[in-house]
Amino acid sequence: VIISFRREHGLNRLNYPLFPSHPHLTNFKHFMLRNNGNNYTYDYIRDMLISSLTVGLDVDYQKGRSVVVYYNGNYFGIHNLRERANSDFIETNFGINENTIDFIDADVNRRDGDNERKGSDADYQDILRWLGCTSTGCVGNSASASSLSDFDLRALEQRMDLDNFTNHFQSRIYYNDRDWPGKNLKRWRAPSSAQYSRWRWLLYDTDHGWGGYGIHEQSWLSSLQFATRSDGPSWPNPPHSTFMLRKLLTNESYKNGFINRFSLLIATYFAPTRVNARVDALTAPIRTEIPFDQDRWNNRGTSIEGTAIRAWGNARPAIMHSELRSFFNLGSPVDLTLTANGNGRILVHNLPVLNGNATFNAYPSVPITIKAVPNGSATFRSWSDGNTSAERTVTITQATTLRADF
């Protein structure tokens, strides 16, 4: 159910902090009351879990919380209160007038009322033409006909937010979302904004991920191959939807960063301990309400503790590591431990190390670019091996610990 505010009914927007964990969001033209979508008979939290695991990655995602809903005094049980994934999202989250942005739904065949387009897609289509692809497909369905040079990669960074793109795509790949990228892919930019003039991607509708919708979403299936197929069907992964990632991976420096960033994400943002803590946080507020919801809908199969969700999250890291090694033909990994000592942080190919400390898989054949970044007025002194370059590229051949001293 979409709740809309219109001036003829009194207010054209709601000024209220709908999400306590995001008190700065107070301006809404719409919000949604959702019964957990395709997973409503299995659990109450999967889509919100998937989205919120990206907190800290600069991924644009729908915020959410669980609520109890009554319609005209009749009890309708537990719903997910969510932001709507349209141009209003940009106005609410970034304070940019929705009439000044380019907001594009990549699936032009949507029939659910949310296939909104604002502004123009001409700039992005020009990017695709420049990279050797048209809006209807790639030349020869292949991104490897010509590799992307470092010069062109830097030029591309001026037009699309590569960190945002990479985090978005790696998250979807990790979640094994099989209703994407030919569908459920929206991107936006604000041409008049210095900060947000580059294309960014919006994460939403992840119901087919995390093992949530049948055998095709199970954790052992190859999601990297799925997201880079050059001959996929019109749904869910046609060639035009995988072209950008395929083209980027022809660049050696981007490919190295992709591997190392993904390895770091698996060890930190998607670590089972973090996933299980998030499951606890999402189930705690509704635990006592679940029996009433089950009685209302005569559904005893809905998970109270998210058992299946936890099992999938516990199994996924090892499977994803194995897939990385197979897809990129990597050898055996060694452990790299990075630690920030003092008032600063460490970036791995521009991806911040979560909480300043991490141990993750490194591959001798894949150089790693690390950078020590001081906070505020702090200064970087040196790495624990004596190197004084804040940014450096290292090749790790054995278990190694590097500490950045600030």
Flag the least confident range among 4-18, 89-103, 319-333: 4-18
User: Which tokens belong to 213?
Assistant: 């919708």
Task: Report d(CA 59, CA 286) in Å as an integer.
Answer: 26
Is the pLDDT at 19 greater than 70? The verdict is yes
Please state the rounded mean pLDDT for residues 172-185: 94
Task: Report d(CA 275, CA 268) in Å as an integer.
Answer: 10
Backbone CA torsion sign across 378, 384, 388, 389:
negative
Is the pLDDT at 194 greater than 90? The verdict is yes
Residue 39's pLDDT is what? 81
| Continuous H helices in 62-183 | 87-94, 122-131, 150-157, 162-175
Percent of the residues in the chain that have a pLDDT greater than 70, as a whole number: 91
Task: Kindly report, residue by residue over 25-72, the tens digit of the pLDDT.
Answer: 999 999 999 988 878 878 899 999 999 999 999 999 999 999 999 999
Task: Kindly report, residue by residue over 347-356, the tens digit of the pLDDT.
Answer: 999 999 999 9
More confident residue, 215 or 322: 322
Residue 221's pLDDT is what? 60
Please state the rounded mean pLDDT for residues 167-172: 98
Is the pLDDT at 212 greater than 90? The verdict is no
251 dihedral zone (left: phi>0; alpha: psi -120 to 50; beta): beta
Backbone CA torsion sign across 132, 133, 137, 138:
positive
Task: Report d(CA 234, CA 251) in Å as an integer.
Answer: 27
How confident is the prediction for the chain on average, in pLDDT?
91
Is the pLDDT at 137 greater than 70? The verdict is no
Please state the rounded mean pLDDT for residues 164-170: 98
3-state secondary structure of 138: strand
Please state the rounded mean pLDDT for residues 199-223: 78
Band of residue 135 on the pLDDT scale cut at 50, 70, 90: very low
User: Nearest Cα to 393, choosing from 354, 352, 347?
Assistant: 347
Is the pLDDT at 304 greater than 90? The verdict is no
User: Which tokens belong to 365?
Assistant: 């054949």
Is the pLDDT at 300 greater than 90? The verdict is no
Measured between alpha carbons, how far apart are the two ends of the chain, in Å? 51
Residue 302's pLDDT is what? 64
Band of residue 141 on the pLDDT scale cut at 50, 70, 90: very low
Is the pLDDT at 96 greater than 80? The verdict is yes
Residue 133's pLDDT is what? 54
Which residues 6+ apart lie within 8 Å of 276 measured at CB? 310, 313
Is the pLDDT at 219 greater than 90? The verdict is no
Band of residue 117 on the pLDDT scale cut at 50, 70, 90: confident
